[in-house]
Structure 1
Amino acid sequence: MTGPSNDNAAGSSRLHHMLAPVFRILDAVTLAAFQISALLLLAITALYCMEIVMRYAFASPTLWSRDTITYLLCATLMLAAPQVARRNTHVAITILVDSLPGRIRGAVETTLALSTGLISGGVAWIAAQETARLMSSGILTLGTIAVPKWWIFLFIPVGFALVALQFLSLALDRSRLGHDRTQV
């Protein structure tokens, strides 16, 4: 005879088994975005070092490095955020949730992951619409060297869409929630 908790566990296991390939693809895309983010951070560091040398050793600062660093920083942040969501290591004030009994805490964490996923999806949708508008209008940045604004904005809907999918995966499969919290 199976009880309600056994049925829930079996249903959760089936769901996990069905969604495992999707989660693997999502995690691979998220990891690739994170690795690109790390490379962009390396490029930012190299550009800062180059700018320091050009400015102080040769008294010839570049006109483009400050803008480029700013644009790369946007991409770096938006491509790293999904990995933070995947690992559930974002900044969170959890004193209330941590004080709840196990079953209630699980339900609250699932609800929070679901609502965060839906909100992030909404932000991705709005950002995608704005990016499409920028693409069709041809608006340029106001930097020293003007580039199409959508080149920079493109990372915002991509990043938020991946964050949304990661939080939704956390809500669908509680085993992905984990508690990889670092103590300060």
Structure 2
Amino acid sequence: MHAALMRACGVVAAGVVALITLLVCWDVVTRNLGLRSLPWINEVTEYALPIATLAAAPWLMWRNQHVRLDLLGAVLSPAAQRRVDRMASLLGLVVSLLMVWYSVRVLLDSRDAGSLVIKALVFPEWWLYVPVPFGFALLALECGRRVLFPSGLTDEAETR
């Protein structure tokens, strides 16, 4: 179940990046051909970037492809490296849970205020915040897994 969820994060991130790429290419081509551009493309791509980032982060961590300081691995013993990894995962868990809490508060405050985004597209501002608690909850889930099962690599990471 966890592996399927993490793979789904990767698929979502790839799909969003593909959509951004297509929209930007469409915009560039239509502008260069002197055709009418779609005014909402810049906004959609702007709003899609955080979605791609929030979906990719837990997937990359699950695959052990996240940013890490490899220099420590060269100077620490394997046992010390595992302890550092576990402490980093615990810190990541705490920070991710704080971000979930804070982002839900911001989302609810925006919803309660009735704030709107008024550009080419008009919609409730809180919609922009919806991906944030989900993305950080998925990061917290992966960090928690790493705290509880520090030596457990994913199947994909082991077969590389």
Q: TM-score range by the shorter chain?
A: 0.7 to 0.9
Q: CA separation in 2, counterparts of 1:138 and 1:55? A: 35
The residue matched to 1:62 in structure 2 has which SS? coil
CA deviation profile, 1:131-165 (whole Å, cap 9, x unmatched): 12222222122533222222221111111110111
Aligned residues: CA RMSD: 2.1
Identity of aligned residues (%): 26
TM-score by length of 2: 0.86
Q: Which residue in 2 is equivalent to 1:124?
A: 100
Which runs of 5 or more structure 2 residues have no equivalent in the other structure?
none
Q: Is the 8 A contact 1:82 1:163 kept in 2?
A: yes
Q: CA separation in 1, counterparts of 2:53 and 2:78? A: 33
Please say if 1:36 is aligned against 2:36. no
Q: CA deviation at 1:172?
A: 0.8
Q: CA deviation at 1:177?
A: 4.9
Q: Which residue in 2 is equivalent to 1:63?
A: 39
Which runs of 5 or more structure 1 residues have no equivalent in the other structure?
1-24
Which residue of the other structure, out of 154, 157, 175, is the alignment partner of 2:133?
157
In terms of mean alpha carbon deviation, does 160-169 or 29-38 score higher? 29-38
Q: Number of residue pairs matched? A: 156
Q: CA separation in 2, counterparts of 1:159 and 1:83? A: 10
Q: Which residue in 2 is equivalent to 1:78?
A: 54
Q: CA separation in 1, counterparts of 2:102 and 2:73? A: 30
CA deviation profile, 1:71-123 (whole Å, cap 9, x unmatched): 11111111111101212221122323541122222112111111111111111
Q: CA separation in 2, counterparts of 1:176 and 1:143? A: 47
Q: Is the 8 A contact 2:82 2:151 kept in 1?
A: no
Q: Which residue in 2 is equivalent to 1:15?
A: none
In terms of mean alpha carbon deviation, does 25-34 or 69-78 score higher? 25-34
Question: Residues 115 and 68 of structure 1: is their aligned pair in 2 closer, same or farther, counting only changes over 3 Å?
Answer: same
Q: CA separation in 2, counterparts of 1:129 and 1:169? A: 25
Q: CA separation in 1, counterparts of 2:11 and 2:114? A: 30
Q: 1:96 is aligned with what amino acid?
A: L
